[in-house]
Amino acid sequence: MVHILIPDNLDKAGLNILNATSGVTIQAAPKMSREEVLAAIPNADALIIRSATKVDAAMMDAAPKLKIIGRAGVGVDNVDLAAATERNIPVMNAPDGNTIATAELAMGLMLSLARHIPQAHGSLVAGNWDRKSFTGIELRKKTLGIVGFGRVGRAVAKRALAFEMTVIAYDPFVSAETGAALGVEMATLDDLYARADFITLHALVTGDNYRMINAESIAKMKKGVRLVNAARGTLIDDAALAQAIKDGKVAGAAVDVYEEEPPPANHPLIGLPGVIDTPHLGASTIEAQDEVALQIVATVLDALFKGEYKNVVNIDVLTKLAKSR
């Protein structure tokens, strides 16, 4: 019998499979506090989380039976990967489930920036009939720069091309030939900054690109550029972007992710004219929640019962596990 702890709100589709699986017991809740997780985790063979639960070394030390950490989603920023690797615990994610939801949100944010949709709605609700203040621009014939050309970046490119945009992308791990096959020109980062009318971020955060959107990089961009971030809050220096919007260098920004979530009340981009803020909605569709739940449950069960490890992000642990057998 294996016991799986689920301290975040995993979709019912995943819970139904676990409840129907012989040899499995679960403890699940919409939201557990850290104290509640620490009290429950000593009995857990596997842990399935979303973004709310922070899994650090201390939590792993409290879990002597823990064999698997599953993240129902893509990002694993909330897991101490080094600590997991040291303890021979594979950390697995669900990389495909959120792709379309996040790409569609990025397109929605881009359209909202181009046409001032949230601001126009707010104005009308307030009793105004003001059309002139909300004159926008078309996406057609504009250049979109995509930073990070993985699953989500490519899904955004496909949709942007349907809007008759010119799409360029930066990703050091993607060849020019791969981009060309998808109708996208691969560019250097500086070239992308210089040419793009819209820039959308779809990169993971590494030591090299932490706060990559900063005063120095913004200075390389076209005047009137519009930025979309539905990837990671730590890709942006919020204060620098806020200042660039106030100065008129950046025409607008749409932000779905924040360095600290929920963001503090004095966050420089929240409430700033020209900025659209949403509360981390990238994966918030019915379809995406079903898909990530089904994918991570299948992955965790395969690891526990078949010894098959898929979508492991701390890949070095697989070598250590193989040597220990």
Helices (H) and strands (E) in the chain, counts: 13, 12
**Beta strands 185-186; 198-201: pairing state:** unpaired
Least confident of 36-45, 75-84, 115-124, 166-175: 75-84
Residue 206 pLDDT grade (very low, low, confident, very high; cuts 50, 70, 90): confident
Choosing from 71, 232, 267, 291, the catalytic residue is: 232
Between vectors from CA 128 to CA 127 and to CA 131, what angle results, nearest 5°?
150
DSSP 19-54: HTSTTEEEEE-SB--HHHHHHHGGG-SEEEE-SS--
Q: What is the pLDDT of residues 252-297, one digit of tens each?
A: 999 999 999 999 999 999 999 999 999 999 999 999 999 999 999 9
pLDDT digit string (tens) for 278-288? Answer: 999 999 999 99
280 classed as catalytic? yes
Q: Which two tokens stand for residue 197?
A: 């009318």
Q: Where in the chain are the domains?
A: 2-97+286-324, 99-277
What is the homologous superfamily of the domain 2-97+286-324 according to CATH?
A: NAD(P)-binding Rossmann-like Domain (3.40.50.720)
Give the pLDDT confidence of 240-254 residue by residue, as tens digits. Answer: 999 999 999 999 999
CATH superfamily of domain region 99-277: NAD(P)-binding Rossmann-like Domain (3.40.50.720)
Mean pLDDT (whole number) for 213-230: 98
What was the pLDDT predicted at 74?
86
The pLDDT assigned to 22 comes to 96
Question: pLDDT tens digits, residue range 97-155?
Answer: 899 999 999 999 999 999 999 999 999 999 999 999 999 999 999 999 999 999 999 99
Q: Is 35 a catalytic residue?
A: no
Same fold flag, 2-97+286-324 and 99-277:
yes
177 is catalytic: no
pLDDT at residue 323 in the model: 66
Q: Confidence band (pLDDT; 50, 70, 90) for 66?
A: very high
Distance CA 288, CA 97 (A): 5
The pLDDT tens digits of the residues spanning 299-311 come to: 999 999 999 999 9
Q: Which of 216, 261, 287, 308 is catalytic?
A: 261
Structure letter (DSSP) for residue 144: E
**Torsion region of 198: left, alpha or beta (phi above 0 gives left; psi -120 to 50 gives alpha):** beta
Nearest Cα to 21, choosing from 322, 304, 228?
Answer: 304
